[in-house]
Chain A
């Protein structure tokens, strides 16, 4: 596709349920990032995948959060036992290569708006 695709665009779930958010990066982009955007806040880094290297998980807020990237392409962010404070927009971004910034800008998806009731 032409851009980063995320699904679903909106997700409403009950507290305690598990959710999966999907990200399809731009074809050929080796770097993939997940960010969380809470109301009135900037973007909070969650996790970073680069090629076949071990992911940088240092931004994940708790062990209820996990992510995987299969075949170096599609990524899934999983939140277990959701809490109300997990409500946010979850943004995925990809870039052509690492380093991700110097000459490979981030391309963002439209995000998944998660609401935990």
Chain B
């Protein structure tokens, strides 16, 4: 069965600092990978997704993520964090060519705090 691990429950960074949120997945083949962000009291918003091609994908709000097959990782990065980036971030994985979000597995999330 596929699984997603986000090893950092909570990360604190200063505004303007760089950010990397870790995500490791377990799956028998290359999966479909996602990062979502959830602001307080809000639903989830898709930041970026990967399913083929260039392993470095660009998303909204200045985020990017790099797929590393050898490490089974899909870490999220941002060069300079803004206070508005404080939120919870979820990594998710689904089988490639998934026909339904039924097979979408979410990690347990990483809470990001941004210090002024």
**Minimum Cβ distance to chain A for residue B52 (Å):** 11
Interface residue? B90 (CB, 8 A) = yes
State whether B101 touches A48 (Cβ < 8 A). yes
State whether B100 touches A100 (Cβ < 8 A). yes
State whether B51 touches A102 (Cβ < 8 A). yes
Residues of the B chain whose Cβ atoms lie less than 8 Å from the Cβ of A98: 99-100
- Main secondary structure, interface of A, reads loop
**Complex: how many Å from CA A45 to CA B108?**
13
Interface residue? B32 (CB, 8 A) = yes
Q: Which range holds the interface residue count of chain A? A: 20 to 34
Interface residue? A110 (CB, 8 A) = yes
State whether B46 touches A99 (Cβ < 8 A). no
Residues of the B chain whose Cβ atoms lie less than 8 Å from the Cβ of A42: 4, 90, 92, 105-109
Interface residue? B80 (CB, 8 A) = no
Which positions 1-51 of chain A face chain B at CB distance < 8 Å? 4, 6, 9, 31, 33, 40-43, 45, 48, 50
State whether B108 touches A48 (Cβ < 8 A). no
**Complex: how many Å from CA A36 to CA B27?**
23
Contact indicator per residue, chain B 73-110, by CB within 8 Å of chain A (1) or not (0): 00000000000000000101010011111101111110
**Minimum Cβ distance to chain A for residue B40 (Å):** 10
State whether A56 touches B102 (Cβ < 8 A). yes
